[in-house]
Structures are given as C-alpha cells and as structure tokens.
Amino acid sequence: MNLSVAKNRYYNLINSIVKNNKISHAYLIEVDNYEDDYKCIMDFVKLIICSSNDDDINNMIDSGNYPDLKIIEPDGNSIKKAQLIKLQEEFRNKSFLNNRMIYIIKEADKLNDSSGNTILKFLEEPEEDIIGILVTTNRYKVIDTILSRCQVISIQDGIMNTDCDENTLNLLKFLSKKDDLFINYQYICDNILIDKLIAKDILASLESVLLQYLNYCSDKNVYCDQNVVGILSNISTDKIIRYIAIIEEEVKKFEFNINYKLWLDCFFAKLIEV
C-alpha cells in the first residue's frame, strides 16, 4: 500500500520510538479523519504493547478484547468528567497481562474544562507503564494545558485544494532564504507574527503548506499551490521536515507564560540554523 509522505514519516517515527525505547507517557496525534486514520493509531498501540508482533495479542486488540486498552469517546457533544474518573479508577489496578496500559481519547478537542482538569493528573504525574494517546483533527482546539503536556505527532496529509494565504506565503519566501529570514526579522515581527494568537494560526498554516508540498513531491497528482512549489523547489526534503519539527516543538511553548519576544528570537535562531 502506498502511503503519503506524512504517514510514512509517522510510521518511521513510531517504529523509531519503540525500537529505541523512547516511549513518552502522553501523545497527541493529529489526524485527517478519525475513521480513515484509526488504523494508524492502533498500529502504534500494537507496537507499544507488543513490539514482537504477537498475533494473539494483535487479534485481541483488533477485536476490542485487550483488557489493558481503554478507549474514551465523547458522550454527546463532550467528553464528560465521569468518563475520566472511571478510567482513572480502572487504571489504579495493575495490568492484567503485566504489560503497558494504554488509554485512547478520541476527539480530544471535546474535553471541557472539567474533564480536562481531571485528565491533567495523568498527564502531570504520569505513572509508570500508563500511556495516553489523545486524538484530534486540530491540535489548536485542544485545551492548552493538555496540548503542552503531550508529544505531538501529525499524520495529516495536508492535502487541501486551496492556495496559500498572503502572510503564510510571505513567511515561506523569507524561510526559503536564510539571509532573507535574518534581514527581514523585524518586518516579520511587526507585520506577520504580530502576537502569539496570530503566530499560532500562521504557523499552523505554514506547517500544513509544508506537508502539502511534501505530498506533492511524492505524487505530482496531489494539488499544491504553484507559488509554494516555486519557492520550495530548491529546498531539500530533509530541511523541510526539520522546519516542520521546529514549528511543532516551538508552538507548544505558547502554552506557558513565555516572553513572546524572547520566544521569537529563539524560534528564528533555530530556523536559521537548519
């Protein structure tokens, strides 16, 4: 089966995480579609629980009969506090199979303040061998305090039949040339990345455009704004992937009480170093 660039990147990442025993206590996975991308989530679960690919365990997971895997879905329009209290009570017991215990929260953007505060204890004080996987179609709709405590992984293809907006396109032009990024730093601060809220939206758009371009590189039938193609055509795939990683890592810092000017200085320094 042919996979998109984003999904290939995802599978390479999760295999590396498990192989090198770098499993975090909490992930937020950003998907295009819950139904279509659910297999990607479950493949990660299987790797964590059984890296040796045990057919019996994999069949238990596929059939929904694995006792140490709990899946939370919205009850109506939101995820309720009571659902998470029940989850915590169940996870107070030891693993049935002496393995890692995993909970998945689908549509994590439907956590409200009450249920969000309840799950924060798992995220702030992680217990050994309890792993959370929160799933959403838009990380920026997830409560800030939750987002900041998760390792974010995106498997969104970024395939949108829309053109790049002016601010994102201008930032992309500066990004394509390190000297322009440095020379126009003050202009970018004053006219594009004016404050944290605006920066959050523009950087989300920039990441989506970069992913869109990577998909275009692997399949020329995929739509990509030709202005974007022209700008990025001389930049290596490895460098674009590095830009995406920096954006994902740095935007998480917005959730803390940071000095925005100092954050911009650090962010630009990392981009220029690529």
pLDDT recorded at residue 28 = 93
Comparing 19-23, 93-97, 112-116, 193-197, the range with the smallest average pLDDT is 93-97
The answer to whether the CB of 131 falls within 8 A of the CB of 26 is yes
Rg (CA), the chain: 20
What would the mean pLDDT of 27-36 be, rounded to a whole number? 90
* Residues in the chain, total: 274
Residue 222 lies in a domain: yes
Domain boundary among 154, 188, 203: 154
Residues 127, 32 share a domain: yes
What would the mean pLDDT of 11-30 be, rounded to a whole number? 88
Comparing 110-114, 121-125, 233-237, the range with the smallest average pLDDT is 121-125
Domain boundary among 121, 154, 187: 154
pLDDT recorded at residue 161 = 47
What would the mean pLDDT of 1-18 be, rounded to a whole number? 80
160-207: pLDDT as tens digits: 445 678 888 999 999 888 778 889 989 999 999 999 888 988 898 898
Residues 77, 180 share a domain: no
| Of residues 250 and 96, more confidently modeled | 250
Statement: residue 107 has pLDDT above 70: yes
The answer to whether the CB of 118 falls within 8 A of the CB of 155 is no
Q: What is the CATH number of the domain that holds 37?
A: 3.40.50.300
SS (H, E, C) the chain: CCCCHHHHHHHHHHHHHHHCCCCCCEEEEECCCHHHHHHHHHHHHHHHHCCCCCHHHHHHHHCCCCCCEEEECCECCEECHHHHHHHHHHCCCCCCCCCCEEEEECCHHHECHHHHHHHHHHHHCCCCCEEEEEEECCHHHCCHHHHCCCEEEECCCCCCCCCCCHHHHHHHHHHCCHHHHHHCHHHHHHHCCCCHHHHHHHHHHHHHHHHHHHHHHHCCCCCCCHHHHHHHCCCCHHHHHHHHHHHHHHHHHHHCCCCHHHHHHHHHHHHHHC
Statement: residue 56 has pLDDT above 60: yes
Residue 161 lies in a domain: no
Number of domains in the chain: 2
Statement: residue 147 has pLDDT above 80: yes
- Angstrom distances, CA of residue 187 to CA of 12, 57, 59: 37, 56, 56
Highest-scoring range by mean pLDDT, 16-25, 75-84, 213-222, 250-259 = 75-84
- The DSSP bridge pattern shows strands 151-154 and 130-136 to be unpaired
Residue 159 lies in a domain: no
pLDDT recorded at residue 160 = 47
C-alpha to C-alpha distance for 206 and 243, rounded to whole angstroms: 10
Average pLDDT, the chain: 86
Highest-scoring range by mean pLDDT, 26-30, 96-100, 246-250 = 26-30
Statement: residue 1 has pLDDT above 70: no
Residues 170, 113 share a domain: no
pLDDT recorded at residue 2 = 64
Structural domain including 115 reads 5-154
Domain boundary among 131, 154, 177: 154
Statement: residue 40 has pLDDT above 80: yes
